[in-house]
Structure 1
């Protein structure tokens, strides 16, 4: 996965979190939203410096 693909995947995960902010979200759901395997969910932290669940908590607090 190149850098552009990683950024697009993370954006899709962020969009999914924003659209499902009050729901419990699994890594599988995020992976499906991004179109990659659960293993690729690690790119979220690599790209943003935060886990998807930390992002969800922060977004929820806004």
Structure 2
């Protein structure tokens, strides 16, 4: 989890820009943690401590 004040989140978009699902719009520096909350019943496709990459690794499948 990174705070904007820590200057660890860098984004390329500006307020009002249109973004598309799956497209890169920024990144978190220094390998900060990202928490993902999935709905109950989601089939999880990854294991604990598995290294994943945003926009590439499929984390789960919604029922």
Fold in common (TM above 0.5): no
Highest RCO, 1 vs 2 (Cα 8 Å, sep ≥ 6): 1
State TM-score, norm by structure 2.
Answer: 0.23
Which protein has the bigger helix share?
Answer: 1
Which protein has the bigger strand share?
Answer: 2
State TM-score, norm by structure 1.
Answer: 0.23
